[in-house]
Structure 1
């Protein structure tokens, strides 16, 4: 009988963990690939530099703008708007989500309208927001809030329903009241997954920033991008997009760090 051939171990396997070094190298390669494609298209002038500036043009413009106090003002006001809209969504949406995920009456009361409204584009609310809140800062904050709130409620409710019923029953067996079970068992159990949910929602908040800053503004990164578009300053448009991406990435990494630090078992 012929000996069976040994199968070579596959380097890429489904759900197989890779080391942090391999992960970092692969992630860096993905960015380098994007940079290479961008460089080829721009330096070869396959796409006109009016519409696709070269990487070094964007880099020089980035350092030039970051050297001005005006651009740091744009960054600061945009961070404030995103933070305020996100925090407002969390303050109202997290308790509602926990209520909807804990009690069936809460689910019946809250989730159907949330499911209905979440399919409405936040941009469609701009005329109403301007009527309700005027054209000041509240208008921008409310638009970001609307973009985050309804999704947040539904995702927190889903996180709450994933908690094992055995944990709740065990707390009742030990004499806990309904509120004590929610406070000492349910809420601590959802915290790790809640942090991941908040990371996703914060990412959405950043995506709504440019839309929010279309509403009668004279400051913010979205305003700077739209102003550059009027004068075909595409290198400045790229800088604005990159800065928003970097701010979003930094906030995401902060949440990821806090999640590992506070909930290492998860």
Structure 2
């Protein structure tokens, strides 16, 4: 049986390229990853806050101005000012912030080293990722009855809930950030004579630091969700406790005021972490 070799076509025999219309010029606001003017950026930022406030105001009017159902922004502001003058708002805000700093701070101290190990060493990944991947699917709120039995109704159980709710996700996200460090940089470091400890301290950790801070930013929001849940149960201070107390007396305006305070504190923490990331990660 004779096998005929395929005949190569010359460039003159190739099919003509399809004709395409000239690409239309896309506005910078709609272009993918295209920078926009500072004025447009600030305008969009202001609108992102103004539009929900207007919708809130319109919604309060549509329910016939019933402050016991949906208070207006002005009524929520007045309730917040009243609580601030009495001092309870500052006391509750500090109690909640202190719990976040303790519970989530402890989770960061444990999860960051574990994530660096998992992202740098295949042995650590094989030993830790299966169990952490399993535990992260367990809802932290399901541990509340056990934490109350083991640690009581005081501060330890609330801090433990924050720790359980954030450590597993922060560990896995830190490991992913470490894996994003180019292998070529590590190989070059070994070629230039660096040792394992030097590669970890001078190549892997600095290269993964912006990603690790982004992971902390994301999980800080989760920590605020868990701390409010923890304060809803058997608490005598905190913003979550203040929400429950206002609900008992049907003080809806105070609930909205506390929610706004939580959003402002969370946004402030996010901005501080973002500024820190931009300053320490300029080389990335």
Alignment TM class, shorter chain as reference: over 0.9
* Residue in structure 2 matching 1:53, options 68, 71, 93: 71
* Residue in structure 1 matching 2:273, options 225, 239, 255: 255
- Closer/same/farther in 2, CA of residues 130 and 5 from structure 1, 3 Å limit: closer
Tell me, yes or no, if structure 1 residue 10 matches structure 2 residue 27: yes
- Closer/same/farther in 2, CA of residues 178 and 7 from structure 1, 3 Å limit: closer
Deviates more, 1:44-53 or 1:76-85: 44-53
Match of 1:174 in 2: 192
Asked if the contact 1:101–1:107 (Cα under 8 Å) also holds between the matched residues in 2, the reply is: yes
In 2: Cα distance, 1:198 partner to 1:219 partner:
26
* Residue in structure 1 matching 2:258, options 236, 240, 258: 240
In 1: Cα distance, 2:282 partner to 2:171 partner:
25
In 2: Cα distance, 1:196 partner to 1:100 partner:
18
In 2: Cα distance, 1:126 partner to 1:239 partner:
27
Match of 2:141 in 1: 123
Match of 2:48 in 1: 30
Q: Secondary structure at the match of 1:188?
A: helix
Match of 2:59 in 1: 41
* Residue in structure 1 matching 2:116, options 98, 111, 121: 98
Structure 1: tracts of 5 or more residues without a match: none
CA shift, 1:5, in A, is 8.2
Q: Secondary structure at the match of 2:100?
A: helix
Q: Secondary structure at the match of 1:175?
A: coil
Asked if the contact 1:139–1:215 (Cα under 8 Å) also holds between the matched residues in 2, the reply is: no
- Closer/same/farther in 2, CA of residues 136 and 44 from structure 1, 3 Å limit: same
In 1: Cα distance, 2:191 partner to 2:153 partner:
55
TM-score (norm: length of structure 1)? 0.93
In 1: Cα distance, 2:201 partner to 2:226 partner:
33
- Closer/same/farther in 2, CA of residues 20 and 114 from structure 1, 3 Å limit: farther
CA shift, 1:48, in A, is 3.9
Larger radius of gyration: 2
Q: Secondary structure at the match of 2:237?
A: coil
CA shift, 1:54, in A, is 1.2
Aligned length: 263
Could you list the runs of 4 or more consecutive aligned residues of structure 1 that deviate by over 4 angstroms after TM superposition? none
In 2: Cα distance, 1:102 partner to 1:184 partner:
13
* Residue in structure 2 matching 1:188, options 206, 213, 217: 206
In 2: Cα distance, 1:195 partner to 1:82 partner:
16
Q: Secondary structure at the match of 1:176?
A: coil
In 2: Cα distance, 1:14 partner to 1:7 partner:
14
In 2: Cα distance, 1:5 partner to 1:70 partner:
64
- Closer/same/farther in 2, CA of residues 177 and 243 from structure 1, 3 Å limit: same
Structure 2: tracts of 5 or more residues without a match: 1-20
CA shift, 1:6, in A, is 8.5
Q: Secondary structure at the match of 1:166?
A: helix
